[in-house]
């Protein structure tokens, strides 16, 4: 099975622009989560999608948004970029069901490194 | 809410020496515990996890960790490290299968020849 893929791997933008990052989960996985990784704040949860619905959201401003398509692929968008948005954005997928109590491992992609100048 | 503290930001160690990376957590409910490894320019890879049962869990690449509920710790150990173990290691918790992962700040393991 192919792993989680993220595109692009590297991106350079300037302040004020917007950016869209893409994540393709492992085949059959319906849950996709996004995390931001920075040297100062570490790894922080952005949001989780399941069956095209946002199920969980972290503490980020409204400039950060996401969506999930019917094929489980997910995108996240950051509008009005700020220098502090420079980070590695990681996507993770799992076969987690709606609200089951069984553990499902999250598999991480290689990330998209965003640099804001 | 859960939180994770990794007490050491960097751990230098010589090749073939033992190593312990420390992790303490805080939670008012039962949690699942994880250790992930991140190599340069890569995503996170799961090393091992504690869900329930035996408090000593074994993972990939010769790593193991022990869950200590009374001390709220989940320290990672390896009896003999290799140069290839040089990476960043993250401890994480989640309170249920449907919840988000909360990560520690990471420990950079630097293995020297």
List chain B residues with pLDDT less than 70: 97-98
The 10s digit of each residue's pLDDT in A26-53 is: 999 999 999 999 998 899 999 999 989 9
Q: Chain B contacts of A44, Cβ < 8 Å?
A: 103
> pLDDT at residue A96 above 70?
no
- A114 Cβ under 8 Å from any chain B Cβ: no
b (16+ CB within 10 A) / e for B53-70: eeeebebeeebbbbbeee
Which among A48, A100, A109 has CB closest to B97?
A100
Distant-in-sequence, close-in-space partners of A25: CB < 8 Å, separation ≥ 6: A4, A31, A32, A72, A73, A74, A91, A93
> pLDDT at residue A98 above 70?
no
Cross-chain residue pair B51–A103, CB shorter than 8 Å: yes
Average pLDDT over residues A97-114: 81
pLDDT band at residue A113 under the 50/70/90 scheme: very high
User: What is the pLDDT at residue A79?
Assistant: 95
User: What is the pLDDT at residue A104?
Assistant: 76
> pLDDT at residue A102 above 70?
no
Q: Chain A contacts of B98, Cβ < 8 Å?
A: 55-56, 96, 99-100
Size of interface A-B (CB pairs under 8 A): 54
Query: How far is it, in rounded angstroms, from Cα B39 to Cα B104?
Result: 16
Query: How far is it, in rounded angstroms, from Cα B3 to Cα B40?
Result: 25
Cross-chain residue pair B100–A4, CB shorter than 8 Å: no
Average pLDDT over residues A81-110: 85
The chain B residue lying nearest A42, using CA atoms, is: B105
Q: How far is CA B38 from the centre of its chain?
A: 11
- A42 Cβ under 8 Å from any chain B Cβ: yes
Cross-chain residue pair B100–A33, CB shorter than 8 Å: yes
Q: Which of B9, B32, B40, B44 to mutate to test the interface with A (most CBs of A within 10 A)?
A: B44
Cross-chain residue pair A55–B98, CB shorter than 8 Å: yes
The 10s digit of each residue's pLDDT in A48-92 is: 999 899 988 999 999 999 999 999 999 999 999 999 999 999 999
Q: Which of A65, A18, A27 is nearest to A46 (CA)?
A: A65
Which among A33, A45, A90 has CB closest to B43?
A90
The chain A residue lying nearest B50, using CA atoms, is: A103
Q: Assess contact for B104 and B4: CB atoms under 8 A.
A: yes
């Amino acid at each position: 099975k192919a792993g989680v893929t993220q595109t692009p791997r590297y991106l350079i933008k300037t302040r004020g622009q917007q950016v869209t990052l893409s994540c393709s989960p492992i085949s059959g996985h319906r849950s996709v989560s996004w995390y931001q990784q920075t040297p100062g704040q570490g790894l922080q949860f952005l949001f989780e999608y399941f069956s095209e619905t946002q199920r969980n959201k972290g503490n980020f401003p409204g400039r950060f948004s996401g969506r999930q398509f019917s094929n489980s692929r997910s995108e996240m968008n950051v509008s009005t970029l700020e220098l502090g948005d420079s980070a590695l954005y990681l996507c993770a997928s799992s076969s987690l069901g709606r609200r089951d109590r069984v553990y499902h491992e999250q598999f991480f992609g290689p990330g998209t490194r965003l640099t804001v100048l | 809410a859960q939180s994770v503290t990794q007490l050491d930001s960097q751990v230098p160690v010589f090749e073939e020496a033992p190593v312990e990376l420390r992790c303490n957590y805080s939670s008012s409910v039962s949690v699942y515990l994880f250790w992930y490894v991140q190599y340069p320019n890569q995503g996170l890879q799961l090393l091992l996890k504690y869900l329930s049962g035996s408090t000593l869990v074994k993972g990939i690449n010769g790593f193991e960790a022990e869950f200590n509920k009374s001390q709220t710790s989940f320290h990672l150990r390896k009896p003999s490290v290799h140069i290839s173990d040089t990476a960043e290691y993250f401890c994480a918790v989640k309170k249920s299968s449907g919840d988000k992962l909360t990560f520690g700040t990471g420990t950079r393991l630097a293995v020297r020849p």
